[in-house]
Chains A and B, each alone.
Chain A
């Protein structure tokens, strides 16, 4: 099979993985050195495809042969898909060629399970080693870790890769047992714990050999089982706390060819995935806890974002005086992000914050107006019932269902 045919199959097979970020690696440069590649710590998206997702890495599978039978996965052993397998050299060549043409920032390599977890992991490590040691490639490398692999292999992977990920796949143990019978939450958690111990070790001992400097991440598939958003976010919160993950990626279950009966026919609304990302961001960046965003079981609202939903449910904090409020509380005002909260605090050290300042900071005035007090402004509507406010502030363009023909069926 030609390289281009393999690429077609093995990129197609990798597209269901949501992660693509290339940030968090230490700064590296190849200026005047042998080899290629640089990282600036931020990562760059090199293109976008018509699904709105960015291309920043060469995201491929080493092979889509797989002996497992995960029901949500197009590459499961019972799936009748064309199969292909790259050689180590082919992956290395593609990475270097794409990198030189400035298509990508690095490699995100994953694989179907072939022969055994250890064998598969060895192959992934071999590619990363070849890139780093033979080609002196200094771009970004993210390796998907096979949870049952020997910890020594995970250790080796961490020496070459910037980031490691172990996918939890589904939010509950029961769902994993049912939909991914060969996987095991216990070993997945152990692998994540193992990675965290190595990361901690490295942090405590700066001279220790380098280990996955961009940390670890995971992915959860949304809508392949019946778990609600509260369950999903609680699992995410648990994983963040336990294994110091950099990111949890949420991937709305995508229809797959000859879908088995154990998974739903229709995908969840894309907006649900979007709300989960928003909520996740509030957990990571804003100090929210899941039980604040979702005190009871259920899903996040689709018509308004989670921060606005929280504010409407907690009106006693509002309207909040921007000239007095705790900086951390300012970030909880709908329509004020971390950056603008910081700017407001900076500004009020120089002078009183006025209403017009917020427009200049490009805050969404419609959104923040009912929740703030400034030197020259008090909301006339601060007693408007939350329900009415919600109606007036719901996202105007409700996103169209993405698969109308499927949802009608």
Chain B
């Protein structure tokens, strides 16, 4: 989309000016838009004309270049022999700097073009520090950019449309705003995106833009002050504004810190602020309520306490477990899952991040690896029972993530209660202990180590125990080779468990 008079389009309409010739003659270079400036600056750089030798005039704006107009008789002389030099390469301005220059060009300052040319010149000389706040010109450039963006932001925020009666035709909405910098073109685009096919007009002291639902049009000033459009919708807004204010938190300084003074006079809500502040100061702080609401008759809701609570599934006793502190930071307890009288129980360590959210064991990456190992071992997931030694996820914050933390033996012991219940009801013939926590839980001892039991099944409490790696160990090992070995060990353990279940001896 383009807007008439948008920076950059001027090249097509205005006759080109010969910036170098004007500079040589000691005349100011007329610049109305950023496009004019860009063309002129490029020509001047190519002819190596230093910033001290150029005067600029920005005739368009009322805040234009008064200074240089007044001093135009005193042309600084150009360095001798300038034109005898070979032309310099045209400036290569990175996109980010170009965007800054374009923003800064909207800043109303009498010397804006001269300053921007100085920046371009210094960049061309290789002085990259103009990009830094620590450089004096760099700081000013950033200050200008910031002020312009701030103004755009404020215009996005504090412009208020009033609705015209439908019989008045287009534009349907009209607004008045007094921007301190030349931000109207960009801001108009913002409202075109926002309003769809609804027509509107924004008046400022310098110019007017109109959106007909498809295209933006710009003209000179058409309005002189805040839109004199009656709009009954504004009453709703004022009511909302008064009601959303919490007098118990009165802190008008912060409000004034956010909305700069010059915007208040065109904000409809400004009219009700003094009353709100004085009411709040006069005691409305005791309850946060708006006094006009408080004065209305109220009603309580006649419903018995027992009937109010939603019907929830009775929490399982596992969900209510407080045998250790792990419940506190977990979402839910994750119970075992699988065939009710499975011959084989796969016992992991504890639920992980995904399991904690889903409420099911082995659904995360380690679960996927275990699934695959089961397939490789010819084991049917539906015929086994899968659970963990500890039922709540133990973790530690790492930035915004949860880092798995190995449960302490006292937590393993506390949670053994639940494993025992499962062992009783499922009564498996074989338990595959996946990892050392599972082993420690089965043996109820914190001092056992995996390597003493790896690959050699043993009898414990009348059932076989097979020990192998936890699937997440296989995910963690650094080399592909070690990973391969770990997976192979898990598959082998599952096969062994299967054979034991079929009544074979190890």
A residues less than 8 Å from B293 (CB atoms): 8-9, 12, 81-82
CB proximity to B under 8 Å, residues A1-59: 3-4, 7-9, 11-12, 14-16, 29-38, 40, 44-55, 58-59
B residues less than 8 Å from A49 (CB atoms): 241, 244-246, 255, 276
Complex Cα gap A398–B186 (Å): 41
In the complex, which range does the number of interface residues on chain B fall in? 35 or more
State which of B280, B310, B357 has its C-beta within 8 Å of the C-beta of A116. B310
State which of A81, A98, A241 has its C-beta within 8 Å of the C-beta of B395. A241
The reply to whether the CB of B84 lies closer than 8 angstroms to some CB of chain A is: no
A residues less than 8 Å from B357 (CB atoms): 193-194, 196-197, 242
Complex Cα gap A74–B300 (Å): 11
B residues less than 8 Å from A97 (CB atoms): 163, 233, 236
The reply to whether the CB of A186 lies closer than 8 angstroms to some CB of chain B is: yes
The reply to whether the CB of A311 lies closer than 8 angstroms to some CB of chain B is: no
The reply to whether the CB of A87 lies closer than 8 angstroms to some CB of chain B is: no
Report B227-253 CB contacts with A as 1/0, cut-off 8 Å. 000010111110111111111111111
The reply to whether the CB of B265 lies closer than 8 angstroms to some CB of chain A is: no
B residues less than 8 Å from A136 (CB atoms): 196
Verify A8–B290 contact, CB threshold 8 A.
yes
The reply to whether the CB of A343 lies closer than 8 angstroms to some CB of chain B is: yes
CB proximity to B under 8 Å, residues A88-124: 94, 97-98, 100-103, 116-117
Verify B133–A186 contact, CB threshold 8 A.
no
Verify A51–B249 contact, CB threshold 8 A.
yes
CB proximity to A under 8 Å, residues B108-143: 128-129, 132-134, 139
- Distance from B284 Cβ to chain A, minimum over Cβ atoms (Å): 10
The reply to whether the CB of B107 lies closer than 8 angstroms to some CB of chain A is: no
Complex Cα gap A55–B247 (Å): 15
B245 nearest in chain A by CB position: A49
Verify B250–A7 contact, CB threshold 8 A.
no
A residues less than 8 Å from B247 (CB atoms): 51
Verify B397–A346 contact, CB threshold 8 A.
no
The reply to whether the CB of A267 lies closer than 8 angstroms to some CB of chain B is: yes
B residues less than 8 Å from A194 (CB atoms): 357
A residues less than 8 Å from B192 (CB atoms): 31
- Distance from B382 Cβ to chain A, minimum over Cβ atoms (Å): 23
Interface centre among A58, A66, A81, A267 (most CB of B within 10 A): A81
A residues less than 8 Å from B151 (CB atoms): none
Verify A189–B332 contact, CB threshold 8 A.
yes
Complex Cα gap A390–B338 (Å): 60
Verify B254–A52 contact, CB threshold 8 A.
yes
Verify B239–A65 contact, CB threshold 8 A.
no
The reply to whether the CB of A317 lies closer than 8 angstroms to some CB of chain B is: no
B residues less than 8 Å from A187 (CB atoms): 312
Complex Cα gap A100–B236 (Å): 13
State which of A11, A34, A65, A361 has its C-beta within 8 Å of the C-beta of B196. A34
A195 nearest in chain B by CB position: B357
Complex Cα gap A37–B193 (Å): 7
State which of A98, A173, A259 has its C-beta within 8 Å of the C-beta of B240. A98
B293 nearest in chain A by CB position: A12
State which of B236, B259, B305 has its C-beta within 8 Å of the C-beta of A4. B236
> Of A250-258, A298-306, A378-386, which binds chain B?
A250-258
Verify B287–A50 contact, CB threshold 8 A.
no
A139 nearest in chain B by CB position: B194
The reply to whether the CB of A80 lies closer than 8 angstroms to some CB of chain B is: yes
A residues less than 8 Å from B253 (CB atoms): 52
Complex Cα gap A49–B159 (Å): 16
Verify B331–A242 contact, CB threshold 8 A.
yes
Verify B255–A190 contact, CB threshold 8 A.
no
The reply to whether the CB of B35 lies closer than 8 angstroms to some CB of chain A is: no
The reply to whether the CB of B14 lies closer than 8 angstroms to some CB of chain A is: no
Known: A7-B239, A80-B300, A244-B400. A53 touches B249 (CB 8 A): yes
A residues less than 8 Å from B280 (CB atoms): 50
The reply to whether the CB of A155 lies closer than 8 angstroms to some CB of chain B is: no
State which of B233, B235, B248 has its C-beta within 8 Å of the C-beta of A267. B248
Known: A29-B193, A32-B197. A254 touches B249 (CB 8 A): yes
CB proximity to B under 8 Å, residues A183-205: 184, 186-187, 189-190, 192-194, 196-197
- Distance from B123 Cβ to chain A, minimum over Cβ atoms (Å): 14
Verify B157–A45 contact, CB threshold 8 A.
yes
A9 nearest in chain B by CB position: B293
Known: A8-B292, A102-B160, A244-B400. A36 touches B198 (CB 8 A): yes
Verify B161–A284 contact, CB threshold 8 A.
no
The reply to whether the CB of B288 lies closer than 8 angstroms to some CB of chain A is: yes
Complex Cα gap A47–B244 (Å): 11
The reply to whether the CB of A130 lies closer than 8 angstroms to some CB of chain B is: no
Verify B248–A255 contact, CB threshold 8 A.
yes
B residues less than 8 Å from A53 (CB atoms): 246, 249
Verify A360–B195 contact, CB threshold 8 A.
no
Verify B276–A101 contact, CB threshold 8 A.
no
The reply to whether the CB of A338 lies closer than 8 angstroms to some CB of chain B is: no
Complex Cα gap A66–B310 (Å): 12
Verify A52–B252 contact, CB threshold 8 A.
yes
The reply to whether the CB of A393 lies closer than 8 angstroms to some CB of chain B is: no
B residues less than 8 Å from A59 (CB atoms): 244
Interface centre among A4, A66, A255 (most CB of B within 10 A): A255
- Distance from B396 Cβ to chain A, minimum over Cβ atoms (Å): 9
CB proximity to A under 8 Å, residues B244-285: 244-255, 257-259, 267, 269, 273, 276-277, 280, 283, 285
Verify B196–A33 contact, CB threshold 8 A.
yes
B residues less than 8 Å from A133 (CB atoms): none
Verify A101–B157 contact, CB threshold 8 A.
no
In the assembled complex, 7 residue pairs joining A and B whose CB atoms fall closer than 8 Å, in A order, are: A11-B243, A12-B293, A30-B196, A52-B255, A54-B258, A351-B129, A406-B285
Question: Which residues of A approach B to under 8 Å, CB–CB?
Answer: 3-4, 7-9, 11-12, 14-16, 29-38, 40, 44-55, 58-59, 65-69, 74, 77-83, 94, 97-98, 100-103, 116-117, 136, 148, 173, 181-182, 184, 186-187, 189-190, 192-194, 196-197, 237-238, 240-242, 244, 252, 254-257, 259, 267, 270, 284, 287, 289-290, 343, 346-347, 350-351, 357, 360-361, 402-403, 405-406
